[in-house]
Amino acid sequence: MENRNLRKERIGVVTSNKMMKSIVVSEVKKVKHPMYGKFVLKTKKYVAHDEKNDCNIGDTVRIMETRPMSKSKCWRLVEIIERAK
C-alpha cells in the first residue's frame, strides 16, 4: 500500500476570476521585520484550478497543492469558505 505525501493547503481571497476554470488567490500574512520589529503585510498570489467556474472576486477559499496543470497553475480549489457580500 503506497502512502501519498501530505498536500499543502492555503486559505486566501479570490482576486481574479477572468480566466476560464482558473482563479487567482491572494494570501496575506503579517510578518515581523527582523531588524525593526514592525509587522509588515506580505502578499503571495497563487493561480488555482476552479473546475466548475463558480468562484467570484472577494470569496474566501481553501486551495490545495496538486500536480502542475499548466505553466503557472499547480493548485486546485478545495472549497469556498465564505462568499463575497
- Which DSSP category does 38 fall into? -
Q: Are strands 39-49 and 73-82 parallel, antiparallel or unpaired?
A: parallel
Does the residue 1 lie in any domain? no
- φ/ψ of residue 80, rounded to 5: -95, 115
Does the residue 78 lie in any domain? yes
Check pLDDT > 90 for residue 3.
no
Does the residue 3 lie in any domain? no
Mean pLDDT across 65-81: 97
- Domain of residue 40, CATH code: 2.40.50.140
Q: Say how many domains are in the chain.
A: 1
For residue 23, what is its C-alpha cell? 482563479
| 5-63: pLDDT as tens digits | 899 999 999 999 999 999 999 999 999 999 999 999 999 999 999 999 999 999 999 99
Does the residue 19 lie in any domain? yes
Does the residue 54 lie in any domain? yes
